[in-house]
Structure 1
Amino acid sequence: MAETSTVARPYAKAAFEYARDHKALEAWSGQLASAKQVAADADFDAKVVSNPKLSHDQKTALLLEVCGELDESLCNFIRTVGSRGRLAALPAIAEQFEVLRAEEEKRVDVTIVSAFDLDAAQQDKLATALKKRLNREISITTRVDRALMGGVILRAGDTVIDGSVRGRLTRLRDALSA
């Protein structure tokens, strides 16, 4: 069977293009997140999505019922996904939709892992530098990991910048042992 991300890609692209063209990116984003949460629930998956006794239409109807109020066009999209037996890919579709939305809006979520809490000025300085380097709006999430000893690790999409003391020591060790 194909990878879930491979299956999800064309659906996410179609959903994104529809939502963008109808100026409904934010609405679709929120509603897809709700559908993703339901579809990704282990109990729902075991009792509905993976249940061979239910037809694709029954599974889709149950998902839509649990999701509650959704835009009619999104319901139709989910019905299309469900009729093709792809409800299990709905979480991946929602994730890829968000990636496409972030690209469209020229924004990126950045995770900053530091050895110590960063104050607002330090976060602003990092955000400004990243905005300039990545040419995107930056949304920062911070986390503390005392094992870093000092410095920070920045994760922005596929880009990782390791400026931690632990990372530098690891690179030094690797260089000396080579």
Structure 2
Amino acid sequence: MKSSKSASRYAQALLDLAIEQNKVEAIAADMKYMATVCAENRDLELMLESPVVKADKKIAVLNAVFDQFDKATASFVELIVKNGREAYLPQIAASFDAILKEHQGIIPVTLISAQKLDDKVKNEIVSKVQASTSGTVELTEKIDPDLIGGFIVRMGDNQIDASVASQINKLKQRLTS
């Protein structure tokens, strides 16, 4: 995996540029589109990582694929390729979204449950998470039948595990120790 530290630095520089030029929405849309295209097209990623393909050819391909990009985004992508960092582009695009959310005070929260939770329970969990943070919660739901019951809440590096599977494992450890 590419260096996430480098990708984060480039993404932060792009966000600073977007704020300076008052083009945050346009550049955010460009980066989201780039992340989607790179995730769906392995050949594009392989081309970006290839040392055989020259920088000018990579720039030409990227300009053709992303011809609707804002001028600032296109210039940034070209600069990244000229500096030999084009393999970082998919990760820069993903990091940009995370850094932008942090800048806007949006906190991504993942709620994993054994089955779809009803709205009342979901809203109760979100309100408790919201009370413990200073920002807007952006909820993503996932279903994992292996949990048996209960839920797991992930917010950044923090995790609250209230799943039945976790409780069974803890009980098993206590009994076998």
TM-score (norm 2): 0.89
**What's the counterpart of residue 45 of structure 2?**
45
- Write the deviation string for residues 16-45 of structure 1: whole angstroms up to 9, x where unpaired: 111123332222111012223344421123
- CA 1:21–1:132 in structure 2 vs 1: closer, same or farther (change >3 Å)? farther
Determine the C-alpha separation between the residues in 1 that align with 2:76 and 2:122.
40
Which deviates the most, 61-70 or 4-13? 4-13
Give the root-mean-square deviation of aligned CA atoms: 1.9
Unaligned runs of 5+ residues in structure 1 are none
Q: What letter is aligned with 1:57?
A: D
Contact conserved, 1:38 with 1:66, CA < 8 A, in 2?
A: no
Determine the C-alpha separation between the residues in 2 that align with 1:88 and 1:37.
15
| Counterpart secondary structure, 1:128 | helix
Q: What letter is aligned with 1:45?
A: E
| Identical residues among aligned pairs (%) | 28
Equivalent residue runs for 1:1-178 within 5 Å: 3-40=2-39, 41-46=41-46, 48-178=47-177
Contact conserved, 2:59 with 2:81, CA < 8 A, in 1?
A: yes
Q: CA deviation at 1:87?
A: 1.2
- CA 1:20–1:146 in structure 2 vs 1: closer, same or farther (change >3 Å)? same
Which deviates the most, 162-171 or 50-59? 50-59
Contact conserved, 2:7 with 2:91, CA < 8 A, in 1?
A: yes
Determine the C-alpha separation between the residues in 2 that align with 1:26 and 1:172.
49
- CA 1:96–1:50 in structure 2 vs 1: closer, same or farther (change >3 Å)? closer
Which deviates the most, 30-39 or 156-165? 30-39
TM-score (norm 1): 0.88
Count residues in correspondence.
176
Determine the C-alpha separation between the residues in 2 that align with 1:107 and 1:155.
14
